[in-house]
Amino acid sequence: MYGATVDEIEDAAYDDKLAEFEARIARGEKIEPGDWMPDEYRRQLIRMISQHAHSEVVGMLPEGTFITSAPTLRRKLILLAKVQDEGGHGQYLYHAAETLGATREEMLEALLSGKAKYASVFNYPALSWADMGAIGMLVDGAAILNQTMLARASYGPYSRAMIRICTEENFHQRQGEDIIITLAQGTEEQKAMAQDAINRWWWPSMMMFGPHDSDSKNSEILLRWGVKTRTNDQLRQQFVNQMVPKLHKLGLSVPDPDLHYDEESGNWIHGEIDWDEFWNVIKGNGPCNAERMAARRKAHEDGQWVREALEAYAARQEAQPA
Ligand code: 3HC
């Protein structure tokens, strides 16, 4: 390294560290909070995990509206447990992001200011009890495919959070399917309710997997560094192949006139997604964006006294003589 500049020496050191980092990932090792990692790996994970956490917490809102109007006490208890689970998933994920140096205050400020994203699917309204079934079956069904993949992510805390979350997510999907099956096998009106809910939640669920791979600006580095192990389109295709036969078996249709089965590939080929709608909802112009953000801002304001009490208690503890 004689005659090399400080930058060149530092660059060489960086290259060596990057090579070892990528070798670790290639060996299937987990990267832990205290390990060396490229700044971009840290940034990507904070972005992805914090937005995942925001999605879990905002995702409580559509279903929360139906807790008081569940048709039976049993359905109320199941839905209550599910919504509580989502809040807990948010906490796991905020903690996972904190292991990377992000603070809860920064993440919540990014959400409440509109700077951070959350899953666009939660900006659609839940209009009937059947929506509880469609959300569980389709939205949680899509989430399970994505999160099962993330359970293999190279970042240890994210991967471990996903293992716990996937266990609960499976219950979420089953309870949703149970609602849809009950309605589909009920009266004509109930079956029509289920079909209406499937019609409204199908495309927003398809959008949960993100833009097409060719438009997914983050996927390349996330795949290279083992955060993602499947692409957006691969997961979406798996979702379509899984859901279409289930819906058809119940005598329900998929709101996609271009959907057809391709014998050669064994895939259900879906029609084009309305990406204008996708980006428009992400930009804040969906049916419920304002309502969802107002609810999150109010919850944060209503919790101010708790944060102040905790700070006062911590300050008093600190002031106590050792
Ligand atoms: N809603 C909102 N924004 C979306 C989106 C969606 N469905 N899909 C993609 N985006 C955003 C991305 O965040 C990115 O914007 P950013 O760079 O400003 O963050 C941009 O669109 C381009 O998308 P990319 O494909 O390049 O982004 P990613 O590679 O990060 O892929 C993702 C998007 C598939 C959502 C990925 O981030 C991911 O897997 N995240 C973790 C899982 C997650 O967040 N799931 C959300 C639902 S949680 C849930 O369903 C709870 C369940 O209990 C119901």
Whether the per-residue pLDDT at 316 is higher than 60: the answer is yes
**pLDDT band (50, 70, 90) for residue 9:** low
User: 264-273, pLDDT tens digit by residue?
Assistant: 999 999 999 9
Does residue 211's CB lie within 6 angstroms of at least one atom of ligand 1?
A: yes
User: 62-82, pLDDT tens digit by residue?
Assistant: 999 999 999 999 999 999 999
- Report how far ligand 1's centroid is from the alpha carbon of 210 (Å): 6
Q: How far apart are CA 222 and CA 130, in angstroms?
A: 36
Closest CA to 292 of 111, 134, 141, 133: 111
Q: Which amino acid is at 100?
A: L
Q: How far apart are CA 216 and CA 275, in angstroms?
A: 12
- Residue located nearest, by CA, to atom 9 of ligand 1: 210
- Residue located nearest, by CA, to atom 25 of ligand 1: 216
User: 133-145, pLDDT tens digit by residue?
Assistant: 999 999 999 999 9
E strand or H helix at 25, and its extent? helix 6-26
Name the residue of 115, 146, 275 to mutate for ligand 1: max ligand atoms within 8 A of Cβ: 146
Whether the per-residue pLDDT at 232 is higher than 70: the answer is yes
Please give the number of the atom of ligand 1 that sits closest to the Cα of 143: 50
Q: What would the two tokens of residue 81 be?
A: 């447990």
Beta strand segments in the chain, E: 260-262, 267-269
**Residue 3, pLDDT score:** 63
Residue 232 sits at the vertex; the CA angle it makes with 109 and 226, to the nearest 5 degrees, is: 80
- Residue located nearest, by CA, to atom 51 of ligand 1: 56
For the beta carbon of residue 61, count every other beta carbon within 10 angstroms: 19
Under 8 Å CB-to-CB from 85, ≥6 apart: which residues? Answer: 168, 171, 172
Backbone angles phi, psi at 311, to 5 degrees: -65, -40
- Residue located nearest, by CA, to atom 54 of ligand 1: 140
**pLDDT band (50, 70, 90) for residue 321:** confident
What is the 3-state secondary structure of 45-89? HHHHHHHHHHHHHHCHHHHHCCHHHCCCHHHHHHHHHHHHHHHHH
**pLDDT band (50, 70, 90) for residue 1:** very low
For the beta carbon of residue 26, count every other beta carbon within 10 angstroms: 10
- Report how far ligand 1's centroid is from the alpha carbon of 209 (Å): 7
User: 85-100, pLDDT tens digit by residue?
Assistant: 999 999 999 999 999 9
Does residue 120's CB lie within 6 angstroms of at least one atom of ligand 1?
A: yes
Q: Let me know: does 157 contact 99? Beta carbons within 8 Å.
A: yes
For the beta carbon of residue 271, count every other beta carbon within 10 angstroms: 14
For the beta carbon of residue 316, count every other beta carbon within 10 angstroms: 9
- Residue located nearest, by CA, to atom 41 of ligand 1: 52
User: 147-198, pLDDT tens digit by residue?
Assistant: 999 999 999 999 999 999 999 999 999 999 999 999 999 999 999 999 999 9
Please give the number of the atom of ligand 1 that sits closest to the Cα of 217: 26
User: 153-166, pLDDT tens digit by residue?
Assistant: 999 999 999 999 99
Does residue 47's CB lie within 6 angstroms of at least one atom of ligand 1?
A: yes
**Residue 12, pLDDT score:** 77
Does residue 55's CB lie within 6 angstroms of at least one atom of ligand 1?
A: yes
At residue 269, the 3 state secondary structure works out as: strand
- Report how far ligand 1's centroid is from the alpha carbon of 268 (Å): 23
Name the residue of 208, 213, 235 to mutate for ligand 1: max ligand atoms within 8 A of Cβ: 208
Whether the per-residue pLDDT at 213 is higher than 80: the answer is yes
At residue 207, the 3 state secondary structure works out as: helix
**pLDDT band (50, 70, 90) for residue 2:** low
The number of residues in the chain equals 322
> All domains of the chain, ordered by start, with CATH?
31-319 (1.20.1260.10)
Whether the per-residue pLDDT at 51 is higher than 70: the answer is yes
**pLDDT band (50, 70, 90) for residue 117:** very high
Residue with tokens 């029509």, as numbered in its chain: 192
Under 8 Å CB-to-CB from 154, ≥6 apart: which residues? Answer: 25, 29, 30, 31, 225, 226, 227
- For the chain, the average pLDDT equals 96
Whether the per-residue pLDDT at 26 is higher than 60: the answer is yes
- Residue located nearest, by CA, to atom 50 of ligand 1: 143
Rounded percentage of the chain residues whose pLDDT exceeds 70: 97
**pLDDT band (50, 70, 90) for residue 8:** low
Whether the per-residue pLDDT at 212 is higher than 80: the answer is yes
Q: How far apart are CA 177 and CA 141, in angstroms?
A: 9
